[in-house]
Chain A
Amino acid sequence: MPARVDGQDLAIWRAASGQTHVWGDRCPHRGMRLSRGFVRGETLACIYHGWQYGNDGGCTQIPAHPNLVPPKTICATTYACAEYSGVIWVALQTTTQVCRSFPGQAAVRSLAIKASAEKVMEYFSGADTGVVCVGGTNDIALALQPIDATHCTAHALASVSADRKEVSRWLESQRRSIELDLA
């Protein structure tokens, strides 16, 4: 599936083994979006000419030349990614930071907000880590996906015992007041 982070187009896919990958959304062959491709076992195949890419992003198969071993230079752009509490995290730059985990919390809902991630962090006067923690009975954490200067998506995590409907309603009301704030 496609996603956008900090203005970059990404392709997110899950191999048959369950492993998640986040790559640049561009096939090195003729620029087709890889997010439109299809998964075959542990490889992602591009929908245009069927070129297949393995775990490390390297091209493993070119159907027009079945007997050719693709040169190492043909490679999709790969990014470090991790999966915690039902949320997929990606690092667009190399980082030594370990992705934080949320024990006891699970993903509830993702909501698109017409405001930059910075504005949302400002609104909650939270840290600048991309995650806003909101205390209280439901212990909600908002993992913010920056999209561009005026858009982000908030992925809400809450304790497993929380009332999901209530969290969802709360999130919507927050969105309304953030967007009103900016209007």
Chain B
Amino acid sequence: MTAGIADHWYPVAMCSGISSPRDTRLLGQEITIGREGEQFWVRDVHGKTLPAIARYGHLWTSPGQPNRDLFSIPEAEAPGRRLVDCGAVRVKCSPLRAVENFLDIAHFPFVHTDILGAEPYTEVSRYEVQIREEVDEVWATKVKFFQPQAARSAAGGITTEYMYRVAAPTSAVLYKTCPPRPGEWDIITLFVQPLTEELCDVWPWMALYDDTSPLAELVSFQQMIFMQDRSILESQIPRKLPLDPGMEAPTQADLTSVAYRRWLKRIGFTYGAQVVAA
């Protein structure tokens, strides 16, 4: 593992789920996590203390020396939002494939049929993608898609607008039109804990303007969506994400995934990636 990979921040647990110390895995290495009152801690196999940050409902750590703070989601801190922990979904796939699937809208009509999409509304119109050098993130904006039931709080079909943001190699944020509050964005994130190169825990988390839906329903809606995604993610060949063009055939609808792969390659993030030997 190169230093660059160890130096990023990774989610390793839901804060509300930590009571007594427990073992988990990060980038193939055993780590132990726990709490002392309000303080969370993380240790590696040698007992060395690793950096720990509790933010966005989750505990974050890094086995290396992070050269910057954990990314921020200022919008999520606005008052009036409901913060929803969803728990983890374990997926037998590369952590990078899990993120890429989260960035993809073209699969909605086929994988989340009649929920996030439906035939014949399959067209993906042109949207904008940038690798923002100043913040070292990938952004996709003006993404629009017709959805029969965009969220728990959506009654009928609407065209939803999205923005996608890859804030760290295994963490992405989705900003989505918010049915009860035009002009505001609902926030859904995908925090991926890379257990190994081909196994990950996916921690969805939400910051919503939805005061009416019961919590259990919000969580089970999100869980259902991720179960549908999991059945795809565990059947892709190869399991690792190919970073070199040629192996897979993207189209214009895949611009976000193309930029994500290019960015990973540029920053040398190869954990969970298939790189053709030079």
Interfacial chain A residues near B104, Cβ < 8 Å: 49
Q: Could you say which of A29, A36, A65, A66 contacts B248, with CB atoms under 8 Å apart?
A: A29
- Chain B residue at smallest Cβ distance from A29: B249
A64 touches B122 (CB 8 A): yes
* CB proximity to B under 8 Å, residues A26-61: 26, 28-33, 36, 47-50
Interfacial chain B residues near A74, Cβ < 8 Å: 249
Interfacial chain B residues near A148, Cβ < 8 Å: none
- Chain B residue at smallest Cβ distance from A73: B249
Task: Knowing A63-B109, A64-B106 are in contact, say whether A28-B124 is a contact too (CB < 8 A).
Answer: no
Say yes or no for B20: interface residue by CB 8 A criterion: no
Say yes or no for B16: interface residue by CB 8 A criterion: no
Alpha-carbon distance A48/B249, docked complex (angstroms): 14
Interfacial chain B residues near A47, Cβ < 8 Å: 110-111, 232
Q: Could you say which of A26, A30, A65 contacts B252, with CB atoms under 8 Å apart?
A: A65
Alpha-carbon distance A33/B217, docked complex (angstroms): 32
* CB proximity to B under 8 Å, residues A64-81: 64-66, 68, 73-74
A→B interface (CB under 8 Å) = 9, 25-26, 28-33, 36, 47-50, 62-66, 68, 73-74
Interfacial chain B residues near A36, Cβ < 8 Å: 235
- Say whether chain B's binding surface is mostly helix, strand, loop, or mixed: loop
A50 touches B124 (CB 8 A): no
- Most chain-A Cβ atoms within 10 A of its Cβ — which of B109, B236, B249, B250? B249
Q: What are 24 contact pairs spanning A and B, CB under 8 A?
A: A26-B237, A28-B248, A29-B249, A30-B248, A31-B236, A31-B238, A31-B247, A32-B232, A32-B237, A33-B236, A48-B110, A48-B232, A49-B107, A50-B109, A63-B106, A63-B119, A63-B123, A64-B122, A64-B124, A64-B253, A65-B124, A66-B123, A73-B249, A74-B249
Interfacial chain A residues near B247, Cβ < 8 Å: 31
- Chain B residue at smallest Cβ distance from A2: B235
Interfacial chain A residues near B110, Cβ < 8 Å: 47-50, 63
* CB proximity to A under 8 Å, residues B247-262: 247-254
A33 touches B124 (CB 8 A): no
Q: How far is the CB of A11 from the nearest CB of chain B, in Å?
A: 11
- Chain B residue at smallest Cβ distance from A30: B248
Interfacial chain B residues near A31, Cβ < 8 Å: 236-238, 242, 247-248
Q: Could you say which of B109, B122, B123, B236 contacts A30, with CB atoms under 8 Å apart?
A: B236
Alpha-carbon distance A36/B107, docked complex (angstroms): 14
Alpha-carbon distance A28/B124, docked complex (angstroms): 19
Task: Knowing A48-B111, A66-B123 are in contact, say whether A33-B235 is a contact too (CB < 8 A).
Answer: yes
A28 touches B237 (CB 8 A): no
- Chain B residue at smallest Cβ distance from A50: B110
Q: How far is the CB of A165 from the nearest CB of chain B, in Å?
A: 37
